[in-house]
Amino acid sequence: MTAMHNKQIISRIYKTLYISFGPQKWWPGDTPFEIIVGAILTQNTNWGNVEKAINNLKTDKALNSKTLHKMPHKRLASLIRPAGYFNIKAGRLKNFLAFFDNNYKGSIKRMNAEKTYALREKLLDVNGIGPETADSILLYAFQRPVFVIDAYTKRVLHRHGVVPENASYHELQDFFHGNLLPDVQLFNEYHALFVKAGKEYCKPKPRCERCPLNVISLPAENSTAEAK
């Protein structure tokens, strides 16, 4: 596709999903720190389970960096049990908390003073934080214009012939960064809409017949993408 067509397709997909689903009001969280914890806990689970884990932390008056940093691993794992893989995720949270304390003295304000690229690189160095989690933290906790790529985004775009199936995370991210203005609210809403479309229609076994994206016509050379 040409650069102009890429921009048109990206714009049409967003408008179609937004008209169909409306604003998604992401990311749930009262504070940047809560959003960060949620981004780490939501790996390989659904948000409903994460909410239960976060509510456990709130009930225990433990949803702050100092308390969680000092909390024994076993206790933390028991509180976040609803989020699944609780021992692994407790370890990942502990890794982040150590990083947060060592680099920023537990201060969100200090962390937010970092430039986006530098902060992203540092987050990726934390064991257990990959590109999707790091970018979710940047976008939702710190309001940085970084497009988050997840399995839903890739699946929707591939099935509609927009990107190849083997496109990497960074290739997909560059695709959005190169064709959209760096707008935090737009990136926020667009990512959430992809998740909604993936959960409702673009499942592993797709429900294409009612998908709102069926109204979008794609170029002939891309119209044969497999619906897997």
CATH topology match: 3-25+148-222 vs 32-141: no
Phi then psi dihedrals of residue 83, to 5 deg: -75, -5
- Asked if residue 152 lies in contact with residue 202, where contact means CB atoms within 8 angstroms, the answer is yes
CATH of domain 3-25+148-222: 1.10.1670.10
pLDDT of residue 217: 54
* Phi and psi torsions of 94, nearest 5°: -60, -40
The per-residue pLDDT for 2 is: 65
Q: Which of 122, 207, 194, 104 is nearest to 156 (CA)?
A: 194
Per-10-residue mean pLDDT for the chain, 228 residues long?
78 96 93 98 95 98 97 98 98 98 98 98 98 98 98 94 94 96 97 96 92 71 37
Provide CATH code, domain 32-141. 1.10.340.30
- Direct distance between the N- and C-terminal alpha carbons of the chain, in angstroms, rounded to an integer: 22
- Please choose, from the candidates 39, 126, 124, the residue with its C-alpha nearest in 3D space to the C-alpha of residue 83: 39
Domain positions in the chain: 3-25+148-222, 32-141
